[in-house]
């Protein structure tokens, strides 16, 4: 039987269909984020841009309980943070490249959070295509090799979502691992900071299905809250080390 990364194509196709149904977001709280900058806190200025998919907009929870506002609040402890959220539900890395990154570059941010990857798991994006998209995103953010610090989450652990039954969960787990290997490799090559959301929070979601929203796919507010410390540590590392600062 034909397979991709050791997973039969029939299972992968079913995974894509099941996930597409789940990601419609029916029955879960969802609101578009403001598309203009929001100011939080006081102190030295920090421009913060969020790119990505439904996890960037907090689908499954109220927007202000999602990772964008929650991480911005942490950054605003002792700073005046300008938060611009360009994330769009359903986006893949290719969509971020085509529809979000140019607006991010124009904002001249100090820090970028790229919260994308789950749709590349379910859309069966090849490793080669994903790598090319991520490198192009970095090049747009950092022309001439200089620009903002960048934190990437990769995909959360899709292999534990209640919406998927076995053996689809196994297929999703394998896909999540492969997608995140690409994110980690590009992070190492291009001086990004990888926030290992899947590794550090996947087991929590696997043990506690109450961390999921009503669609049994997206996290709810409590679920997103488990991601925030992971992203916060990565953001602190990126800002402390001046990752990607180059000629700025």
11 band by pLDDT with thresholds 50, 70 and 90: low
* Residue 139 token pair: 């090049």
Judged against a pLDDT cut of 80, whether residue 6 lies above it is answered with: no
* Number of Cβ atoms within 10 Å of the Cβ of 108: 11
pLDDT at residue 79, as a whole number: 97
Q: Residue 112 in 3-state DSSP?
A: strand
Query: How does pLDDT run across 86-135, given as a tens digit for each residue?
Result: 999 999 999 999 999 999 999 999 999 999 999 999 999 999 999 999 99
- Measured CA to CA, the distance from residue 159 to residue 169 in angstroms comes to 4
Beta strands in the chain (DSSP E): 3-4, 7-8, 38-40, 45-52, 80-85, 111-115, 149-152, 193-194
Contacting residues for 129 by C-beta, under 8 A, at least 6 apart: 94
Beta strands in 101-212 (DSSP E): 111-115, 149-152, 193-194
Judged against a pLDDT cut of 70, whether residue 219 lies above it is answered with: yes
156 band by pLDDT with thresholds 50, 70 and 90: very high
Q: Which CATH class is domain 3-24+38-241?
A: alpha beta
* Residue 28 token pair: 């879960």
pLDDT at residue 164, as a whole number: 86
Whether the Cβ atoms of residue 41 and residue 148 lie closer than 8 Å to each other = no
* Residue 111 token pair: 């820090």
Contacting residues for 162 by C-beta, under 8 A, at least 6 apart: 209, 212, 216, 217
DSSP class of 43: S
């Amino acid at each position: 039987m034909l397979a991709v990364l050791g997973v039969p194509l029939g299972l992968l196709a079913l995974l894509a269909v099941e996930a597409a149904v789940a990601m419609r977001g029916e029955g879960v709280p969802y609101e578009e984020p403001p598309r203009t900058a929001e100011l939080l806190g006081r102190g030295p200025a920090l421009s913060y841009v969020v790119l990505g998919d439904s996890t960037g907009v907090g689908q499954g929870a109220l927007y202000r309980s999602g990772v964008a506002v929650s991480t911005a609040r942490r950054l605003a402890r002792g700073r005046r943070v300008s938060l611009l959220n360009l994330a769009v539900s359903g986006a893949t890395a290719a969509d971020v490249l085509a529809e979000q990154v140019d607006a991010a570059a124009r904002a001249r941010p100090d820090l970028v959070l790229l919260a994308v990857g789950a749709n590349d798991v379910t859309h069966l994006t090849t490793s080669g295509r994903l790598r090319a998209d991520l490198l192009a995103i970095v090049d747009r953010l950092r022309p001439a090799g200089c620009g903002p610090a960048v934190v990437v989450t990769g995909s959360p652990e899709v292999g534990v979502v209640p919406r998927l039954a076995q053996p689809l969960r196994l297929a999703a787990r394998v896909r999540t691992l492969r997608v995140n290997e690409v994110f980690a490799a590009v992070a190492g090559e291009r001086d990004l900071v990888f926030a290992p959301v899947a590794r550090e929070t996947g087991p929590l979601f696997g043990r506690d299905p109450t961390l999921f929203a009503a669609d049994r796919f997206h996290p709810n507010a409590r679920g997103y809250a488990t991601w925030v410390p992971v992203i916060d540590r990565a953001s602190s590392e990126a800002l402390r080390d001046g990752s990607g600062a180059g000629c700025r």
